[in-house]
Amino acid sequence: MGGQLGFLYRQLTFIPKPLATSSLEGKVALITGANIGLGFEAARELASCKLSRLIVAVRDPIKGENTRQTILTEAPSCHVEVWIVDYDQYDGIIAFAKRIAELDQLDYVLLSAGLKQMEYSTSHTGHETNVQINHIAASLLSLLLLPTLLRLSRSTGNPLRLTIVSSEGHFWIPFKERTAANILKRMDEPETFGTAMQRYCTTKLINVLWTRELASRVSEHEVIINTVNPGFCYSGLHRHVKTGAGIMNIVLWMIGRTTAQGGHCLTDALVEHEDSHGRYLSEQQITDPSSFVLSMEGEVAQKQVWRETIELLKHEAPNADISFFSE
Ligand SMILES: NC(=O)c1ccc[n+]([C@@H]2O[C@H](COP(=O)([O-])OP(=O)(O)OC[C@H]3O[C@@H](n4cnc5c(N)ncnc54)[C@H](OP(=O)(O)O)[C@@H]3O)[C@@H](O)[C@H]2O)c1
């Protein structure tokens, strides 16, 4: 059942479950946005499944260390490391990816870092903040990590996993910017910001488009790339909601999933569903994204967002080696 009624029904009736497997022994995972919220819950869950090594990727070393200590208390056998990455700094993302490239094992990558800014603001890079953090940075990181994932997959012969966190909110926006000569430039213009969560939801739609395009360029036998909707969950994501915050909190109280349940959706997409390459998961199953994504127009927008992102990164992050994916 689609639409907002379907959303309400699924929020009320579906209870996400933790991973069925209890052993990820010998496996290595990297999670961005792992200090809090859904990323933190996913990190905890993987560690509790006897994961051997966990890289907690955060922008604040103190928050990262607190997270490390909490996870170690619960899962002392997991080797937990805190690595710094700020999605608002290209050079930091590039340096982080270079460090990842030195790893000799990495089985799971979960890109969970994100934010929901409800008022127009610009990031250090000059882009609208939701666009920078949710799309540009996550996409740059995915591009920079893939050569490493492919190398490691080829050395073992097993497919590795990459999951990008999107949202059901991608169904709910008009995406008026799709007809612009340059979609990303248009999204930087304050008058296109829209109301309430529109800009955030548009960046989550772009996460879905990006995942599909990226997956189309990589073999599922090497890296299984998917995107997941965790559902509407309690977390700090909603902290910038001011107008209607009272109503949102009541709705959250009535139908919201716990942060841990949201985390279960992330770990499920990351570890299970070997047939999910290029697909969208919601309620812990592979399902269709919005009809726009599946339409011809959606496919055109998908290719356009890809081209624009590559061009933007070549120009703004010239030190990033994305030649692997350049057309
Ligand atoms: N909660 C929901 O209802 C919901 C629904 C659908 C999708 N999602 C998606 O789930 C993902 C996780 O959200 P959440 O609910 O866990 O939110 P959250 O509790 O606010 O956590 C967001 C995480 O992203 C990190 N982050 C934000 N800006 C960053 C930056 N510039 N560089 C590096 N990391 C940064 C935060 O770090 P700091 O602590 O340092 O800020 C935090 O670790 C997001 O992609 C979100 O869009 C959430």
Structure tokens, 145: 């990590």
The sign of the CA dihedral 288, 160, 234, 137 is: negative
> Which residue CA neighbors atom 45 of ligand 1 most closely?
114
Closest ligand 1 atom to the C-alpha of 134?
45
The C-alpha atoms of residue 233 and residue 255 are separated, in whole angstroms, by 9
Structure tokens, 141: 């990181």
Ligand 1 center to residue 128 CA distance, Å?
Answer: 16
200 is catalytic: yes
pLDDT, residue 1, reads 62
- The four Cα atoms 310, 314, 320, 321 give a dihedral, to 10 degrees, of 70
Give the bridge partners for 161, in sequence order.
108, 224
Nearest residue to 11 (alpha-carbon basis) of 245, 209, 167: 167
Q: In which order are the strands placed within the sheet that holds 28-32?
A: 79-84, 53-58, 28-32, 108-111, 160-165, 223-229, 280-282, 285-287
Residue-wise pLDDT for 206-243, tens only, equals 999 999 999 999 999 999 999 999 999 999 898 888 77
For the chain, state the CA radius of gyration. 18
- Mean pLDDT of all residues in 40-45: 98
- Mean pLDDT of all residues in 108-120: 96
Residue-wise pLDDT for 233-289, tens only, equals 999 898 888 777 888 888 889 899 999 999 999 999 999 999 999 999 999 999 999
Neighbours of 15 (CB within 10 A): 11
> Which residue CA neighbors atom 27 of ligand 1 most closely?
114
The sign of the CA dihedral 207, 282, 194, 128 is: negative
Q: What is the DSSP secondary structure assignment for residue 258, as one 8-state letter?
A: P
> Which residue CA neighbors atom 37 of ligand 1 most closely?
33
Q: Is the CB of 125 under 6 A from ligand 1?
A: no
Q: Is the CB of 269 under 6 A from ligand 1?
A: no
Closest ligand 1 atom to the C-alpha of 39?
16
Question: Domains of the chain: which residue ranges?
Answer: 3-325
- Mean pLDDT of all residues in 170-176: 93
- The helix or strand, by DSSP H or E, that contains position 160, with its residue range, turns out to be strand 160-165
Which residue from 93, 235, 270 has its CB within 8 A of the most atoms of ligand 1, so it is best to mutate? 235
From 90, 108, 200, 280, the catalytic residue: 200
From 204, 234, 282, 290, the catalytic residue: 204
Ligand 1 center to residue 296 CA distance, Å?
Answer: 31
From 167, 235, 282, 290, the catalytic residue: 167
Q: Is the CB of 113 under 6 A from ligand 1?
A: yes
167 is catalytic: yes
Ligand 1 center to residue 58 CA distance, Å?
Answer: 11
The C-alpha atoms of residue 290 and residue 280 are separated, in whole angstroms, by 10
Ligand 1 center to residue 110 CA distance, Å?
Answer: 12
The yes-or-no verdict on residue 138 having pLDDT over 80 is yes
> Which residue CA neighbors atom 46 of ligand 1 most closely?
114
The C-alpha atoms of residue 294 and residue 278 are separated, in whole angstroms, by 12
- Mean pLDDT of all residues in 67-96: 98
108 is catalytic: no
Q: Is the CB of 159 under 6 A from ligand 1?
A: no
- Mean pLDDT of all residues in 123-132: 97
The residues near 180 (Cβ < 8 Å, ≥ 6 apart) are 186
Q: Is the CB of 60 under 6 A from ligand 1?
A: yes
Ligand 1 center to residue 249 CA distance, Å?
Answer: 18
CATH number of the structural domain 3-325: 3.40.50.720
Percent of the chain at pLDDT above 70? 99
What band does 44 get if pLDDT is binned at 50, 70 and 90? very high
pLDDT, residue 30, reads 98
Alpha helical stretches, state H, the chain: 3-13, 37-48, 61-74, 90-100, 129-130, 138-156, 183-188, 198-216, 245-255, 259-271, 291-294, 296-316
Ligand 1 center to residue 155 CA distance, Å?
Answer: 33
